[in-house]
Amino acid sequence: MTRLDSFLLLLLAGVGWACGFAVIGYAVFRGVPDNGPLAAIFGGFGFGAGVILAACRLALERELPRSLSGSLRAPQSAEPSAPHAPEIPSGSASAFGA
């Protein structure tokens, strides 16, 4: 899938959700005079939701979380390193009184 195909898919998903949410906005504020701006706000939220959900589905389809997390991991060295313990100078008092 090319970038243009992905863009069109996201755009169409956003437009579809925007139309659905605008209809819900008109239905909810049916008795309110001049309910067009309220339906536009519902449509804006619907557009955002449609784009975000379609983008998440595309990312999961392309296994982007797995490939990105693999690149964030540090390369494994051949020999495991021992945990570093702080050096305590001899002759100093211990916290336990010894």
Separation of alpha carbons 65 and 57, rounded Å: 11
82 belongs to a structural domain? no
Domains contained in the chain, number: 1
30 belongs to a structural domain? yes
DSSP E strands: which ranges in 1-98? none
Cβ atoms within 10 Å, residue 35: 16
Separation of alpha carbons 98 and 92, rounded Å: 10
Q: Which pTM was predicted? A: 0.63
Domain that holds residue 9: 3-69
pLDDT, tens digit, for every residue of 52-83? 999 988 888 877 777 666 666 656 555 556 66
Q: Which residues of 3-25 are buried (b: 16+ CB within 10 A; e: fewer)?
A: eeeeeebbeebbeebbeebbeeb
63 belongs to a structural domain? yes
98 belongs to a structural domain? no
44 belongs to a structural domain? yes
